Amino acid sequence: MSKHVLSALADAIWPPVCPVRGVPVDVSGRLDASVWQGLEFLDAPWCECCGLPFPYPSGLGAEVGILCATCIARPPKFDRARAPLAYGDASRALVLGFKNGGRREMIGQFARWMARAGEDCLEGADYILPVPLHWRRLLARRYNQSALLGEALSRQTGIPMQASWLLRARATPSQAGKSVLSRRRNMAGAFRIAPGHRLDGCHVVLVDDVFTTGATASACARQLRRAGAALVNVVTLCRVVRASDPTM
Ligand SMILES: [Zn+2]
């Protein structure tokens, strides 16, 4: 039986629903119009390093190479970070449905959005590395959402994923509600490279679901650079853009 017939059959038995609101939609993996309208897609002009969108054009003529105040004050350990979606109510529901509810029907769409927003991060990359979960959390959740996103992005771009090279050295308390400084302290020493792996001269792309302050990405990037990585970029599905945004 063809894939098309099978999918039509599946839709007839289990009518497709919006992964956020649970209301019927035409095709599996589609969003209800009200959820769709609530999503805020990010675009340039943004900080050349961390991808924080600027609220208005810089007015300097060239939008390339401009950094935000945070990246100037404390340069991150990664080279570039990009995300297609602003973290808000609609994208939060999307991420939580995927992360905690196992709703995976939109993962191909997520990867297409991430590939587009992260085009300059992915170009010429040698490997995609998902941000690892500690084994205890992995056991409780049964899967790592960053590895699922990494796998989908790997299929979309053809860049191989290496899920076992970067490891979580210790479990870290939840980052929710923590200040930038305590997030950084919380993450210090949380990651290590699997024994026997070197990344000399490699261009690697870290993948995660949400970019909040960049503390996790910087902690991973520090270890990857120690293992020889020449370029460490970060592509996430969402990015916190306002200090008032909810955090996980
Ligand atoms: Zn920045």
Residue-wise DSSP of 177-219: T--HHHHHHHHTT-EEEPTT---TT-EEEEEEEEESSSHHHHH
82 has pLDDT over 60? yes
Neighbours of 51 (CB within 10 A): 27
What percentage of the chain has pLDDT greater than the value 90?
Answer: 52
- The more confident residue out of 169 and 102 is 169
Q: What is the Å distance from ligand 1's center to 215 Cα?
A: 13
77 alpha carbon – ligand 1 mean position (Å): 12
pTM: 0.85
- Cα 66 to middle of ligand 1, angstroms: 9
Whole-number Å distance, alpha carbon 179 to ligand 1 midpoint, is: 17
Length of the chain: 248
Which domains does the chain show, CATH number per domain?
Answer: 78-239 (3.40.50.2020)
How many angstroms is it from 114 CA to the middle of ligand 1? Answer: 18
**For 114-160, how does the pLDDT look when each residue is reduced to its tens digit (9 = 90+)?**
999 999 999 999 999 999 987 777 777 778 899 999 999 999 999 99
Instruction: Tell how far CA 137 is from the center of its chain.
Output: 18
CA of 214 to the centre of ligand 1 (A): 10
Tokens of 204: 């690697």
Residue 21 CA to ligand 1 centre (angstroms): 33
Is residue 29 predicted with pLDDT exceeding 70? no
Give the Å distance between the CA of 100 and the centre of ligand 1.
29
Q: How confident is the model at residue 211 (pLDDT cuts 50, 70, 90)?
A: very high
- For the segment 105-109, the average pLDDT, to the nearest whole number, is 88
What is the rounded average pLDDT for all residues in the chain?
85
Type and span of the H or E element at 233: strand 231-239
| Residue 179 pLDDT class (50, 70, 90 cuts) | confident
Task: Count Cβ neighbours within 10 Å for each residue of 186-221 and write b for 16 or more, e otherwise.
Answer: bbeebbebeeeeebeebbbbbbbbbbbbbbbbbbbb
Q: How far is the CA of 104 from the centre of ligand 1 (A)?
A: 31
